[in-house]
Amino acid sequence: MSASAANSYFLPPPSRWPIIGACSLLLTTLGAAMWVNRGPAGPYVLAAGALLLVWMLFGWFGSVIRESEKGLYNRQVDVSYRWAMGWFIFSETLFFAAFFAALFYLRWHAAPDLSSGDSAELWPGYQGAWRTTGPSMEGTLVPMRAVGVPLINTLILLTSAATLVWAHWGLKKGSRGQLKLGLALTIALGIVFLGLQLSEHYHAYTAQGLKLGSGTYGATFFMLTGFHGVHVAVGATILIVIFTRALRGDFTPDDQFAFQAASWYWQFVDVVWLLLFALVYWL
């Protein structure tokens, strides 16, 4: 860290990346809405927004990495980044909390209320027991089981949390081999998790007839597990970038915020899965 950087707060020059990021999010949201409403251009608009988002992320984070390697950041900037990552994870916590709250409301309030009191007269024969499609949905519901793929995936994510902590221990004591091996194992476990989850979704859709439109249970199951899978994919991508940087010699015991931020995110995804496994699959 240079003497000038130690005594001043770095202000980045004007950047194009924020406006590109805003445009990518607009296109992604617009494309998804068009696709859901069967708009023919929806998939293409969504793909364009996703590609633009990926370009923005690599470009913006690349600028940050180059600024850091030039010694432009001081301790105050490091603290600012840590606060920013903390608030980001907090926002992600609220994101999942909203879906869990919807699950709680449907399971313990909406479904029982529809089978009791005056509402029971509107839906005769409806039991209101979870897991349910809802009173107006026809067909037999085959719920997902906690054993099998969900239990295996739980063990996989718990193991990945341990391998990432082991990699961090290697970084703190200066063992580059342990750092790289721990990261590689964590990434491999994340990819295996995604593969198993995709196979489970395919089986649920084709063999069990469980879909996003299969009432309250299908909607909450696919929304929670689907969004969690997206977060695992994002986390694995981040760890791949961290692994690539580790291969070229980045990160030291005194300069490791990028690794720590990626680790925080991955551990957050692990904790969300434990809640999801207990509340969606088990109970």
Closest C-alpha to 222, from 276, 266, 268: 276
What three-state secondary structure class fits 42?
helix
- Residues with Cβ within 8 Å of 264's Cβ and at least 6 positions away in sequence, in order, are 85, 86, 89
pLDDT of 46: 94
Token couple for 277: 């496994």
Question: CATH topology for 75-282?
Answer: Four Helix Bundle (Hemerythrin (Met), subunit A) (1.20.120)
- Spans of all domains in the chain: 1-73, 75-282
pLDDT of 122: 66
Question: Model's pTM, two decimal places?
Answer: 0.84
Nearest-angstrom CA–CA distance, 125 and 123 = 6
In this structure, the number of other CB atoms found within 10 A of the CB of residue 218 comes to 23
Q: Is residue 165 within 8 Å of residue 158, measured between CB atoms?
A: no
pLDDT of 3: 46
pLDDT of 120: 63
Pick among 3.30.230.10, 3.30.365.10, 2.60.40.10, 1.10.287.70: CATH of 1-73: 1.10.287.70
Which residues of the chain fall short of a pLDDT of 70? 1-8, 117-129, 133-141
